[in-house]
Amino acid sequence: MEKNGPLTMKDIAREFGISVATVSRALKDSPRISEERRKAIQTYAREHNFYPNAIGEALRHSRVMPQRIIGVIVPEFTHYYFSSILTGIEEAASARGFNIMVALSNEKYEREARICENFHRTKVCGVIVSQAKDTRNYDHYQKLIDAGIPLVFYDRICTGVNASRVVVDDYMGAYNAVTHLIETSCQRIAFYGGPMQLEISKNRYNGYKDALLKHGLAVDESIVRVCDNRAEAEAITPEILALDHRPDGFFAVNDDTAIGILYTVKRAGLKVPEDISICGFTNGQRAIACDPMLTTVEQRGRLVGEEAAEILMDKVEGLNPIEKVEKRVVRTRLIIRGTTR
């Protein structure tokens, strides 16, 4: 059998014409499998450098627990949402006797791939990750899965790998936010979103677009921009405000971007929300530190982290099969404050 990537239990099962469960039993030397069949499977696995996730097996079957370490990859630490997710992961892990090892990808694919390799070498019992913005290749994730290491995505999910994930309801969060802007008299609403290769960006844009269409408003691509931080918002918003038919509302992908819009609008001599309404997406501490306080979509990051950790720990401890793919959605809610009418 020729295979480019690492060997998996499924590959061994296919080679011998048996089930994955039978392969698993043979590799564990189960007497339920004939000695001849066990030896054949074990020899084949050794010859192809296949070894089950030893830490996961030990966690499930040994009374003497090895180090219970979960690897966590965070795209950036400065964003309140990611720090709140990390808090949820740590609290859930600690409650069940796990520790976490946190690494920063800094939004870089190469760094993310190296972290995955390091996690594999240090034998973490599982990995929780939100992918970097510029990640296009997913082989590093697949290698973890093929090595039997449980993998759970949060926030930015990877559609190229079939793994468990926890996300917020980005579509409905955006739809409800834009609906609120429309129902409070906004007729021309700008959209500042993240890179469109990210599923969350697509979902929020679709929520924005569908809310406009539902209320009989056209989507104007001239006021749809890729912009997901305060500095960029402050750089491009003057151009948007200078349009002959300027927006009377802004929906931003996160609170930092929304705050950048807010202060740019105020510097231009316009009033918020009388002249222009603004809505963000996070509900971090900065949302209540600005003037006026920010209307925003609450993401409930701590709950996202808790859910991701629970999925992973259940797999590690054998409560759920490693190969089972779980998809959980955390509901958002709109928090109305002073930047909308």
179-220 confidence digits (pLDDT tens): 999 999 999 999 999 999 889 999 999 999 999 999 999 999
pLDDT score for 336:
98
| pLDDT above 60: residue 59 | no
What is the per-residue pLDDT for 157? 83
For residue 312, give the 3-state DSSP assignment: helix
Q: Residue 85 contacts by C-beta under 8 Å, 6 or more apart in sequence?
A: 74, 130, 154, 155, 301, 302, 304, 305, 308
Q: What is the pTM of this model?
A: 0.77
Given a cut of 90, whether residue 225 has pLDDT beyond it is yes
Is the pLDDT at 64 greater than 70? The verdict is no
Residue 58 has pLDDT above 80, yes or no: no
**Is 318's pLDDT higher than 90?**
no
- Which is higher by pLDDT, 10 or 164? 164
SS3 159: coil
pLDDT recorded at residue 33: 87
pLDDT of res. 21: 78
pLDDT at residue number 287? 97
What CATH topology corresponds to 170-299?
Rossmann fold (3.40.50)
41-55, 64-78, 94-108, 171-185: the lowest-pLDDT one: 41-55
CB 151 within 8 A of CB 163: yes
- pLDDT at position 61 is 52
- Residue 60 pLDDT > 90, yes or no? no
Residue ranges of the chain that CATH labels 3.40.50.2300? 58-167+302-330, 170-299
Higher pLDDT, 147 or 53: 147
- Which CATH architecture best describes the domain 58-167+302-330? 3-Layer(aba) Sandwich (3.40)
